[in-house]
């Protein structure tokens, strides 16, 4: 069974029971209107489908959809329903008719439906103005009709001013039930994780309890750590609807794994960045924490935008954030600065302290220091403690020596060892290093591995794993 089937109606029993009671009331008492809201992927469509499956067999279930089109279909959802609403409606929609003629014709068709029929219009945040006017007309006249009207929409796509707000505010309160859907709880995610052999804490942290994200992640094999294409495409489609300033802010923030202080946004983009952050908060793409830090609402959304950024742009955003943190002084966690510095891989000189008891431990640190000098085309300086170490709770005695290493390339020794002390002998290991040689080897060395490091991104997707026999 696909994971989506297990996720779709989890923790939705109460909402489904409310909808079923409204459907019963619409068949026996008076018309009912349900408004279901929630972020993308929260399970609105699954909930409505669950309701439709319980509707009495002699009733009609008609679906209409609003689409995110550059040129919206006028009365698009009613065109979708035209076949169920009858020939009069089909004829009225096929040739332009004034509202004075069209609206009563559709109302008559709805009134002629069997008692308990269900009209569903999804994604009202994309509705055209003609559909909104028609729905306002129908809603004010729904009470004597024995049908149920269900509307779904995303609140984060209806930032004011939005035409849907006028319709929602004018719905008759006596027959309108509003059902906002929340993400799944940690307990629900834990149960799902246990059924699929996954870590519940990691799943909840990654997905935020969003059922769509959960179902797509659970549908992948445990060993597949790639972002599902369905999630990536959904996130990027939504981000594409942002303004140019908002998109620049999303691109800048996606390289930061931790919340970015609002002061940093001001430093990066001025008042435009502050306004963009407010708009993205309203649309549910970003959240502001208690310390005034901005972060993505979903970690998977951050990852999707990050992975879509070309390497040069990603590096530029790291560079700008690093410069902004440094300009603001000691007000921020040094680990934030370190994250961006490591991502840029721009250090000319790296210090590698070492405190190891055995020769094997010293060798590991030494090999690591030499590997970093090679891959980053820089100079690494290894400083080892030697001799008795009564002061150390970890080791009784230290083994090692100092070392200064560079890439075995133009301007450096062919071994990569610039200087090295004698093993287990206290003293200084000294060498004179020209950092201009680092710039030269990066620009015109025999091997340009640092320059081409990002070329490997994505190539791992083409690797076919195998087992040696």
Q: Torsion angle of alpha carbons 92, 170, 142, 102, nearest 10°?
A: -10
pLDDT at 2: 44
CB 231 within 8 A of CB 300: yes
Q: What are phi and psi of 178, to 5 degrees?
A: -105, 130
Name all domains of the chain by residue range, CATH numbers in brackets.
3-180 (3.40.50.300), 241-344 (1.10.10), 349-453 (no CATH)
Per-10-residue mean pLDDT of the chain, 469 residues long, equals 57 95 96 96 95 93 92 92 94 86 94 97 95 96 96 89 91 97 95 90 92 92 90 94 94 93 89 94 89 90 94 90 82 79 83 92 96 93 90 85 95 96 94 91 89 70 67
pLDDT at 336: 80
- H or E segment to which residue 404 belongs: strand 403-405
State the DSSP string of 414-467: TTSEEEE--TT--S-------HHHHHHHHHH-S--TTTTGGGGTTGGGG-----
Q: What are phi and psi of 247, to 5 degrees?
A: -65, -35
113: DSSP letter: S
pLDDT at 7: 66
Tell me the CA distances in angstroms from 4 to 184, 190, 215, 233, one per residue in order. Answer: 13, 16, 5, 18
The model's pTM = 0.73
CB 380 within 8 A of CB 370: yes
pLDDT at 6: 52
């Amino acid at each position: 069974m696909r994971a989506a089937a297990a996720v779709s109606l989890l923790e939705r029993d109460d909402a489904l029971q409310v909808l079923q009671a409204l459907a019963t009331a619409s068949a026996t008492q008076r018309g009912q209107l349900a408004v279901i809201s929630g972020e993308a992927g929260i399970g609105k469509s699954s909930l409505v489908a669950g309701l439709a499956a319980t509707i009495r067999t002699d009733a009609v279930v008609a679906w209409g959809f609003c689409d995110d089109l550059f040129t919206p279909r006028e009365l698009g959802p009613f065109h979708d329903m035209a076949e169920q609403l009858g020939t009069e409606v089909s004829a009225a929609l096929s040739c332009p008719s004034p509202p004075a003629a069209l609206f009563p014709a559709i109302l008559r068709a709805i009134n002629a439906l069997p008692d308990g029929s269900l009209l569903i219009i999804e994604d009202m945040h994309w509705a055209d103005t003609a559909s909104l006017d028609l729905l306002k007309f129908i809603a004010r006249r729904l009470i004597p009709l024995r049908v149920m009207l269900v509307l779904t929409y995303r609140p984060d796509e209806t930032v004011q001013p939005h035409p849907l707000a006028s319709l929602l505010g004018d719905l008759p309160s006596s027959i309108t039930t509003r059902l906002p859907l929340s993400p799944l709880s940690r307990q629900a995610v834990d149960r799902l994780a246990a059924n699929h052999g996954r870590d519940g804490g990691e799943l909840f942290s990654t997905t935020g309890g969003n059922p769509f994200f959960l179902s797509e992640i659970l549908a992948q094999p445990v060993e597949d750590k790639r972002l599902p294409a369905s999630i990536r495409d959904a996130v990027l489609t939504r981000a594409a609807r942002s303004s140019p300033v908002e998109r620049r802010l999303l691109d800048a923030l996606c390289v930061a794994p931790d919340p970015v202080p609002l002061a940093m946004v001001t430093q990066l983009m001025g008042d435009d960045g502050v306004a963009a952050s407010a708009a993205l908060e309203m649309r549910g793409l970003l959240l502001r924490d208690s310390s005034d830090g901005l972060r993505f609402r979903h970690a998977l959304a951050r990852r999707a935008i990050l992975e879509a950024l070309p390497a040069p742009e990603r590096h530029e955003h790291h560079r700008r954030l690093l410069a902004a943190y440094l300009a603001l002084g000691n007000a921020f966690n040094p680990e934030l600065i370190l994250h961006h510095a490591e991502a840029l891989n721009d250090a000319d000189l790296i210090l590698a302290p070492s405190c190891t008891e055995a020769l094997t431990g010293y060798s590991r640190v030494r090999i690591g220091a030499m590997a970093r000098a090679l891959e980053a085309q820089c100079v690494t300086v290894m400083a080892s403690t030697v001799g008795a170490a009564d002061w150390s709770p970890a080791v009784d005695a230290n083994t090692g020596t100092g070392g200064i290493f560079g890439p075995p390339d133009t301007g450096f020794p062919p071994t990569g060892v610039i200087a090295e002390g004698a093993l287990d002998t206290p003293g200084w290991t000294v060498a004179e290093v020209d950092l201009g040689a680092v710039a030269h080897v990066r620009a015109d060395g025999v091997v340009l591995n640092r320059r081409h490091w990002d070329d490997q991104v994505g190539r791992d997707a083409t690797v076919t794993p195998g087992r040696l026999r």
